[in-house]
Amino acid sequence: MNPDTTVVMDAPGVAEDSSPPQEFDVLFADEHERIYRGLLFITGSRPDAEELMQDAFLKLWERWDQAGSIEDPVAYLFRIALNGSRMRARRAMRASRKALPLPGGESNAFEHVEAREDLRMLLRGISDRQRTALVLTEIFGYTSEQAGEIMHVRAGTVRMLASQGRAALRGKERDQDA
């Protein structure tokens, strides 16, 4: 046994090595910044990207004993993070439907800041799916087939979304230059 490992006794005479597998530490060190950046491009929010990245690594860590069956751990991490992002969006949508509007005369300075931020996010011009397809294929270099597996869509859908996203970005760039 490695002298640096921690031994936990679960039952009399049964020892369990509770130190993290070295491979997970290496995977985290090598990929966490890259995954964070990709999620930042997708979500547009530093806190959301950080939290989604951390949640994805935590879920992989919880299943690390089964990690040998995972062909591409980075793709698996993206899949977990994107699923988490979709779940958040659904929860936010449900919550917004339940929220009651404030009476007309009452206003809050923070609401104006939030409204401007929401408007900025809307004006970014491309959908989450388009942004996700572009980040996975253009920044992370996944093929459309690999990106399709991550996004749970066909490869042709990834190519179409990336193409639409690029066209929308070009249109926004032309509009800003004019």
Q: What is the pLDDT of residues 90-133, one digit of tens each?
A: 887 776 665 545 445 455 666 666 765 653 553 366 888 988 89
CATH of the domain at 46: 1.10.1740
Answer yes or no: is 2 within a domain. Answer: no
Token pair 């995977």: residue: 27
Count of structural domains, the chain: 2
Domain end point (choices 49, 81, 96): 96
Residue numbers in the chain where pLDDT is lower than 70? 1-22, 95-113, 115-125, 172-178
On whether both 22 and 92 belong to a single domain, the answer is: yes
The pTM assigned to this predicted structure is 0.56
Answer yes or no: is 108 within a domain. Answer: no
Query: Cα(54)–Cα(20) distance, rounded to whole angstroms?
Result: 16
User: Residue 157 burial by CB count (10 A; 0-12/13-18/19+): exposed, middle or buried?
Assistant: middle
Nearest to 125 by CA among 85, 82, 171, 176: 171
Query: Cα(38)–Cα(42) distance, rounded to whole angstroms?
Result: 6
User: Range of 138's domain?
Assistant: 127-178
